[in-house]
Structure 1
Amino acid sequence: MKKSKYKIAVLVCIVLLLLTVIISLMVGSYQMTPGEVIGTFLGNGDSMQRFTIYELRLPRVVLAVIVASALGVSGGVLQAVTRNPLSEPGMIGINAGAALFVVVWISAGTSAYYSELAASKAFFMPLLAIMGSLLTVAVIYLFSYKRGIRPVRFILTGVGVNAGITAVISFYQLNMSKGDYNQVLTWTNGSLWGSSWHYIIITLPLILVLIFFILFRSKVLDVLALGDELAMGVGVSLQREVLFFLILSSCLAAIATSVAGNIAFLGLLGPQIAKRLAGPSHRKMLPLSAGVSAVILVAADTAARNLFSPIEIPVGIIVSIVGVPYFIYIMLKGK
């Protein structure tokens, strides 16, 4: 019965993702019908349709799926390691640490907008983001460690670090030109408007490798989620495994942040919904979390592009509108 429920959940997730992708490819300032979208993929579209799909909308949708998958898996790992359903990379400062390093990098010695960055700058963005996130995790770990990692202390320390880094980013923005300030402000609130195939080529291999390693060790996550005493009782090297998964989840969140900005609450929504559908097994829950997060982000980005067209609002704001009530619900429901 449980296997049947999981298969149905996966099938529904795939169908919803396909529907949201098709809708996202259809709507915009240049409207297209489902037949025109499918015809363009089959090679029957005109030049305008091909340009709209392949150069503007499809890279954005693909990058949204990649980013959402990384954040969904990252959030699921953090919740297992800390044994706290409120853990997610945007809330505890991991995304902010990555964003700080990338903001400094993209604004250093250039006035170019994010979509116009040179290939050399774009190539180093994930690496800088990983450095920023790992440094943030190190700070959180050191301040929250006291004979082990306690979930509440870890979360509260992360919230404090997140507030501090956000303040530093805001202070840094004061020294920017008006154009750069508006650009970075949009980006730090989460934005996919600068998407291109170039960013997909850079980020996709890294994210796939990290997710593979996490899924390969997913049984360890199952044990860690049960508690420190049980994990040590079955021979798990607790602190080593915690550090291992913290590093991998931080790298995932950092790479996603480097190309899409700070999208908070997605790493909370995806894993929580997936856990209700797939159960506690991380081998099943984490891939489903990636799929659920992808559906949410593609739908949110479609809304962000079209609700107030021609003005585009940051996709992170749309995700937060959904995520904050769910966060409050989980907080009130918990003991």
Structure 2
Amino acid sequence: MNKVFRQRVIIIFLILLILAAAIFSLGLGSSSVSFDRIVPTILGSGTLKEEMVLFSLRLPRVLLTIFAGMALALSGAILQSITRNDLADPGIIGINAGAGIGISIFFLYFPIKAETFIYALPIVAFISAIFIAFLIYIFSYTKGMGIQPIKLVLVGVGFSMACSGGMVVVISSAEDEKVNFISKWLAGSIWGTDWPFIVALLPWLIILIPFTLYKAGKLDLLAFSEPVAVGVGVQVEKERIVLLISAVALAAAAVSVTGGIAFIGLMAPHIAKSLVGPRNHLFIPIAILIGGLLLLIADTLGRNLLDSEDISAGIITALIGAPYFIFLLLRKK
């Protein structure tokens, strides 16, 4: 089967899967709305209670998890190409933790109005994460050889632990309510479950998805060795830095409203590559959709597995992603 045709078939199938998973998620929970009432309610024929449950509680959360999963998957795809490292993921190599420490400091020490806080979060997360990302980049870079894949993971894990430790120090003297918020963020709890959070996240996707697809050819070349990329006229350092900034922006925007969720950016690109191959313009659209689907399923499971309390989506993704990461690590030896 032609790979372009195959890609289109898979994209249609994934869109249908996301729609089915979204409807399933909308119908589950303590204040359930029967499945046969979901579509009529969305179309404006629901009762006041049904409209409140769907439009104020469920639908924003479902859309947010889909969009955040898409952003994390695209971030992971970019990182894997520019570092030539199949183990790269914004959660594993410290970018999420870098965003987290910035959010923690901002949340604890820069109190601003709630309506401004929501839109400032992705920017604060980006500034903090880009600083950590460039430190990781510098420590992982070897002159004449470029980024060393295993070294990048080790340095990233080290920075991630340092940032997580920094967050513990920062919150050690904070009020209990604020400590609870940071703790939930660290666990990957979907907390930004209202429409303004979607408005804060969506522009980053609208800008950076087309930009990354435009750069797909450059990503293909960067995935080769540095001499090959330079030999065909690619300005390696310039392209790598621009794309690194894009990957950090996507991850920071996502985790600023979902918490520290890892492994989506690792798993989604790998699954997509196994379906259509390693060409970026083919697998990136599929990886984006898989990322949205994975996080939606993780959050739906986390909300409904236990009757007494929710399990953070970050814990569900870690339970699936950690064994997968170990498998990839062993395979690379």
Whether the TM-score (by the shorter chain) exceeds 0.5 is: yes
Cα distance in 1 for residues equivalent to 2:120 and 2:311: 27
Structure 1 distance, partners of 2:307, 2:121, is 29
Report how far residue 43 of structure 1 moved. 1.4
Residues 205, 250 of structure 2: 8 Å contact kept: yes
Q: Which amino acid aligns with 1:133?
A: A
1:127 matches 2:123: yes
Aligned to 1:151: 149
1:41 aligns with 2:39: no
Give the equivalent residue in structure 2 for 1:307: 305
Deviations 1:84-130 (A, max 9, x none): 111000011111111111111122265x9xxxx70112221111111
How far is 1:250 from its partner? 0.6
Matched position secondary structure for 2:142: coil
* Structure 2 Cα separation of the partners of residues 29 and 106 of structure 1: 30
Counterpart for residue 22 of structure 1: 23
Contact 2:191 2:259 in 1 (8 A): no
Secondary structure at 1:168's aligned position in 2? helix
Pairwise CA distance, 1:209: 0.4
Distance 1:109 1:205 in 2: 24
Please give the alpha-carbon distance, in whole angstroms, between the structure 2 residues aligned to 1:121 and 1:31.
Answer: 31
In 1, Cα distance between equivalents of 2:205 and 2:4: 27
TM-score (norm 2): 0.95
CA distance in 2, matches of 1:45, 1:121: 33
Distance 2:138 2:224 in 1: 23
TM (norm. structure 1) is 0.95
Q: What is the distance in 2 between the residues matched to 1:280 and 1:90? A: 22
> Which residue number corresponds to residue 234 of structure 1?
232
CA distance in 2, matches of 1:152, 1:276: 22
2: CA distance between counterparts of 1:61 and 1:94? 24
CA RMSD of aligned residues (A): 1.5
Mapped partners of 1:193, 1:53: distance in 2: 17
Aligned-residue offset at 1:216:
0.8
Which residue number in structure 2 is paired with residue 223 of structure 1?
221
Task: Give the distance between the partners of 1:60 and 1:276, measured in 2 at CA.
Answer: 30
Structure 1: how far apart are the matches of 2:294 and 2:130? 27
Matched residues in 2 for 1:126 and 1:193: separation?
14
Alignment-mate amino acid for residue 107 of structure 1? L
Are the aligned partners of 1:69 and 1:294 in contact in 2 as well (CA < 8 Å)?
yes
Q: Which moved more, 1:315-324 or 1:169-178?
A: 169-178
**Partners of 1:107 and 1:240 in 2: CA distance:** 36
SS of residue paired to 1:193:
coil
Does the 8 A contact of 2:204 with 2:249 survive in 1? no
Q: Deviations over 1:179-207 (max 9, x none)?
A: 22122101122122331111111220122
Q: Segments of 4+ in structure 1 off by > 6 A?
A: none
Structure 2 matches for 1:64-79, cutoff 5 A?
64-79=65-80
Cα distance in 2 between the residues matched to 1:42 and 1:76: 36
How far is the alpha carbon of 1:4 from its aligned partner? 3.6
Instruction: Assess if the C-alpha contact under 8 Å between 1:265 and 1:323 holds in 2.
Output: yes
Identity %: 36
Provide the C-alpha distance between the structure 1 equivalents of 2:110 and 2:216, rounded to a whole number of angstroms: 43
Which has the larger displacement, 64-73 or 200-209?
A: 200-209
- Equivalent position to 1:139, from 135, 151, 169: 135
Tell me if structure 1 keeps the 8 A contact 2:96–2:129. Answer: yes
Aligned to 1:61: 62
**How many aligned residue pairs are there?**
330
Query: Paired residue for 1:194?
Result: 192
Partners in 2 of 1:109 and 1:253 — Cα distance?
A: 22
Equivalent residue runs for 1:154-169 within 5 Å? 154-169=152-167
On the 8 A contact 1:207/1:255 being kept in 2, the answer is: no
- Structure 1 counterpart of 2:162, which letter? G
Alpha-carbon distance in structure 2 between the residues aligned to 1:103 and 1:120: 16
Distance 1:104 1:140 in 2: 21
CA distance in 1, matches of 2:54, 2:9: 30
List per-residue Cα deviations over 1:206-236 (Å, max 9, x = no partner): 2220222111111000111122121111011
- When residues 142 and 109 of structure 1 are mapped into structure 2, their CA distance, relative to the original with a 3 A threshold, is closer
Shift in CA distance, 141/109, structure 1 to aligned 2, threshold 3 Å:
closer
Query: Is the Cα–Cα contact under 8 Å of residues 229 and 236 in structure 2 kept in the other structure?
Result: yes
Distance 1:186 1:79 in 2: 28
